[in-house]
Amino acid sequence: ESGSRLSMESPAGRTPAPRALPYYVAFSQLLGLTVVAVTGAWLGAYRGGIAWESALQFNVHPLCMIIGLVFLQGDALLVYRVFRNEAKRTTKILHGLLHVLAFVIALVGLVAVFDYHRKKGIADLYSLHSWCGILVFVLFLAQWLVGLGFFLFPGASFSLRSRYRPQHVFFGAAIFLLSVGTALLGLKEALLFQLGTKYSAFESEGILANVLGLLLVAFGAVVLYILTRADWKRPLQAEEQALSMDFKTLTEGDSPSSQ
């Protein structure tokens, strides 16, 4: 038994990545880092930069949300495409840790905007952007907690994990796309508040922010394309096949071979 386990984890059993996959992943990272850099450039050049104990506290919000709920969340979804042959549990832990990091950074951004509104006497949660933002945050946390219970703790049965996995994958992609859409809503809202009617006069800030919006759309599209390519999914590991066969044996207790 130990010999077969070693053979499953040997280099000879590794499945090579599809030829185009590394290029698409690299392109997604280039887009994601560019989104973060352009967000920082926009806040620095047109909004005065970032600081916590000042009027610049609001600027912490868009930067943290872009880093956490867009860039890091997108990378967390790509873990199973990038690390195709590593141990499944190791990949699960990395997937979960990236989500934790994304959550912590997003929480900082959420606290920043609520604290800023409180200091300035601005109403909370009245815009479509804020409603979508709270929805994203709640769904993101719920998705992480449920995923933790199903896939990292040993309590859930293999059959229960198998039934829940498609829902987990769907909601992960849906929350990511909703995060990108919410970021676009927030970007448009910030431009209208700051520029007003000048927005239609092709102000330089508006042009830069529009470019940022297109980069956000491109990053979301590339990540979604990588996730939806069936032939780019992580290959079924031998230990997963064994678990599947064990489950099939248990559920076919009335078959002649089991009697």
The length of the chain is 259
Q: Which amino acid is at 137?
A: F
Q: pTM value? A: 0.85
Q: Which amino acid is at 149?
A: G
**What's the number of domains the chain is made of?**
1
Q: pLDDT at position 246, please?
A: 45
- Residue by residue, what is the 3-state secondary structure of 106-162? HHHHHHHHHHHHHHHCCCCCCCHHHHHHHHHHHHHHHHHHHHHHHHHCCCCCHHHHH
- CB contact set of 169 (below 8 Å; sequence gap of 6+): none
Q: pLDDT at position 82, please?
A: 93
- Quote the longest CA-to-CA distance of the chain: 80
Q: 219 with 28: CB under 8 angstroms?
A: yes
| Alpha carbon 84 to chain centroid, angstroms | 18
Residue 247 placed within a domain: no
Residue 250 placed within a domain: no
Helices (H), the chain: 2-8, 21-46, 60-65, 73-82, 88-120, 128-147, 158-195, 204-228, 238-251
Q: pLDDT at position 17, please?
A: 79
Q: pLDDT at position 114, please?
A: 97
Q: pLDDT at position 5, please?
A: 41
Residue 259 placed within a domain: no
14: tokens are: 């590794």
The parts of the chain modelled with pLDDT lower than 70 are 1-14, 154-156, 237-259
Residue 252 placed within a domain: no
Residue 7 placed within a domain: no
Per the structure, the complete domain to which residue 51 belongs is given by 19-234
Residue 29 placed within a domain: yes
CATH number of residue 55's parent domain: 1.20.120.1770
Residue 239 placed within a domain: no
Residue 67 placed within a domain: yes
